Structure 1
Amino acid sequence: MQATGASVSLAVVLAFLCVLPVFSETSQAPEGTDTTPSCTEKSTLTLILQGNDREASFRCPATWTLQPADLTQAYENADSSNTVALDTLVSGATLIHDSENSKYTLTLPSERTDKTFQYKCQKPSQDASGKNTVNSASQSCKIVVKVFASEIKSAIECKEGEINVATVKVTGNALSLKCKNLTLDPPDVQNVYDDEDGKCESKVALTSLVDGSLAAVAAEQQDNGEYALSISELPTDAKHLCYKCVAKQSKTQAGDASKECMLKLTVASGAAAFATASISVGILASLASFLSAN
């Protein structure tokens, strides 16, 4: 009878383990706000997936269509005339389309090698009857996907006409940004743009969003344009930061996306991982105590 009771209790514990809450790695934007990045008529979107990143979402501009249309295919390089199977580029990778929210989500395996591939968003052109059609002559913008097997060691080099998107999930020296032949904006490293609305316009103190700092890699050579972002502690809720690299003569070119580059960063929440670890440790301790008593 004692053995039967132990079996039932063990079954209850195991059942509880199976229903532990699952915390998503992707943060939810406030209701009514969609910060899913997109390329634009003047900007290329670059998605940077480091070793601990498993997925990334993107979209095309409204009414534009993704190419290749076959989601099992991608372009291996800038020559978008030939496609390659996505699984050949990164074994186990998948791309799905959420038609309700008009966005695409790329999912990657944990085991992979460094790889770069592309998609493009194509603007429909109108035929003689006025109907939208997609052809090679119509305007397009690029989505570049840079996959890394581990955390990247080199700086993210920001070039004119690019939007770079990355996620920070670890503390310490998170990543470096290099404004090649451009100037950092905000120029004061104590400030950053709050990108919660996806517009990269609201300038705030960096420490009002995250416990971290930005500093020139070589203080005596700040003109080299390279800066390192350090995160001391992950925030309770995910935070969205944005930096720009702008042309030195930007005062006469304000708002010209082709003359600037953006780095959009999501600093992941540390609360979910902590909660999961705490629950798991507590349950395992209880299970060990139960087994030793029976």
Structure 2
Amino acid sequence: MIVPSKFSVDVAISAYGKPYQTAVTLFSLLKHSGQWIDKIYFVEERKQPEPVDFQFIYDHIGSQLIHYKPFFWFWYNKVHSSFQKFRPYRQSIRYQYGWEKTDKDYLLLLHNDVYFTGDLVGEYLRNIGEHTGIGKIGQCWNCPAFSANMCDGKNYTTYRPDYQEIMNLSNQFPGPRSHKYADVMKADKIWPLPECRLNEYVAMVNMKYARPATVPFGKATPIGVHNRIDTGVEWFYMLNNAGHTFTHFDYEPYAIHSWVSLKNAGHEALFNKELYQYEESVALQCLKDEFGYQV
């Protein structure tokens, strides 16, 4: 077990809308785990769902926060590997700016709709060991192998079906993305399964192992790429097959993702203005009640 040291972790967060939820994410993180955090790489996505002002967050956190606005906005579109040598293109990928700029051994990856209730970073540091990453593993709620009680995030390394078995399970336990599996799986190398990933919305990466293996230094596509089912799936697939290991850690005693409504992991609010405004109003009240924020 690693003995945590102060200021041994940097943070990479991409902010797409939700200024008040973004503030709750960072303020609650620093409240519980501030002793481990050095720099916060705050990426304000080039396109926003509505006019947004994050300045109050920059003012509150101060020089600890490094602001960056990328040249490109990918959303969930394909990121072409042939262009990843071009730094402004590559550093527009989610988390990539902080990934390349950090000088710390550990990088915490965050969505901007997380509420921290305890010292998750300290727990991650104490439990990551020699693994390349720590956090919840797998989008198991979508996976037919999980529905069939064959696999989960804790034992994904031991369940290694062949192509036909997973396709049969997909027919027996169809999920929302089962129709995509045939297009993203290699018939001779399907493991890890298509829904397997280190869930990057609140995860920590050991940069000593991950950086040399990942673009621009290694062969693995950046973790923020969305080319294979979901964000981080392709990176996770490539690193597992290169011999890297990951440890499953249930963050829920220490953090809540999409904490306001728990509805579709916060994604639906980006397409529903009424829901978006409701969630932001709840976050604003939290800022007032817990952090003394004054509009």
| TM class by smaller structure | under 0.3
TM-score (norm 2): 0.27
Structure index of larger Rg: 1
Greater strand fraction, Structure 1 or Structure 2: 1
Tell which has more relative contact order, 1 or 2 (C-alpha 8 A, sep 6+). 2
